[in-house]
Every structure is written in structure tokens, then in C-alpha cells.
Amino acid sequence: MTTSETKNPSDSVENKFLSVNIADIMSKDVITVTEDDSVEDVIELFEKHHFHTYPVLSADGELVGVIDQNIILEVLMFDRISRTKHTHMAAIRSLGEDAKSIMISHPVTITSDIGLCDAADLMLKHHINRACVIDDGKLVGIVSKRDVINEVYRTRGLG
């Protein structure tokens, strides 16, 4: 690939990265569950959709947790997994009847004004595949590694 432009193309890409916030790339149409939804309903969601993680909201609409594929697999396969994984917490979770009782109650969250580079840095450094985006305690979206990769790809392509 050749270019006759006088400006440095990498500078241009760098500037574009800096101007992109999470709000620009996150998925805004998020399928959520409420804390009282039954475990069966949650499992059905995993069957119906291809998402890895579902945010759990309280009655007031606040994010209180997440349920991901690992949790569901652990709940479904609890009586088959190795006894070393039969911890007290896992046993309680396997008996859970609603979303609240099986969710991870400490999800990693970021705000929508965080830049693309900071989000990518967080994901790479700490092996986080996706994070809930909250503004003022309310869930406004989810951003995944795929969203970041797609944006970088788009930006480089345009640059």
C-alpha cells in the first residue's frame, strides 16, 4: 500500500483513537435480567441469544450483578464437576432459584466517557473480555473486546 499524503498516517489514526469514547462503540441494546427472574428464564436467554454475559438489574434499574457463561455452566454441571470445585459458595449457587442467587455481585464496570485506549488497556492487562458501562449507577451499555477490535479495525481502515 502506498500513500502520497504528506501528514503522518499513524498520527491521524492515533488522534482518531483518542477521540473515540466507550459511548461511541458500546452495545446499547442490552438484554438484561432482573434479580427476581428465575434461573430457568436466564438459561433460556443463553439458549436464545449468543451473548456471553447478561447484566442483572434491581427493581430500581440499578446494575447489581452479572451472569456469564461460566456461572451457568457451573450451575448446570455442578453434580458432574470435580469434587474439588464443590466449594460452599458453588453449592449454594447450584441451589439458586433466581438470578440474584447465582449472579456475580461484583461486576467490573466502566463509565461511558472512558477512552477506547484506556478500555483496551484494561481488557488486555487484566484479561477482561467485557465490561458493563454505567453512568450515574444506571446501565447504559456493554462493551466487549469485539467492539474494541471492530472499532480499531474501522479506524485503521479509514485512516
51 touches other proteins (CB under 8 A):
no
Collect all residues with Cβ–Cβ distance below 8 Å to 143 and sequence separation of at least 6. 22, 25, 26, 27, 110, 119, 130, 131, 133
Which CB sits closer to other proteins, 123 or 152? 123
User: How far is CA 134 from each of CA 5, 57, 68, rounded to the nearest angstrom?
Assistant: 40, 12, 18
Length of the chain: 159
Q: Tell me, residue by residue from 1 to 40, as one string, x for binding to other proteins by CB under 8 A and - for no binding.
A: ----------------------------------------
Which CB sits closer to other proteins, 70 or 150? 70
Which CB sits closer to other proteins, 8 or 82? 82
Taking the complex as a whole, the smallest distance from the CB of residue 98 to other proteins amounts, in Å, to: 12
Taking the complex as a whole, the smallest distance from the CB of residue 7 to other proteins amounts, in Å, to: 30
111 touches other proteins (CB under 8 A):
no
Which residues in 58-97 contact other proteins (CB under 8 A)?
70, 78-79, 82-84, 86-89, 91-92, 94-95
Strands 53-57 and 33-34: parallel
Alpha helix stretches (DSSP H) within the chain: 9-19, 22-25, 39-48, 69-76, 88-94, 99-102, 116-126, 145-158
Instruction: Please count the helices (runs of H) and the strands (runs of E) in the chain.
Output: 8, 6
Binding site for other proteins (CB under 8 A): 70, 78-79, 82-84, 86-89, 91-92, 94-95, 104-109, 122, 125-128
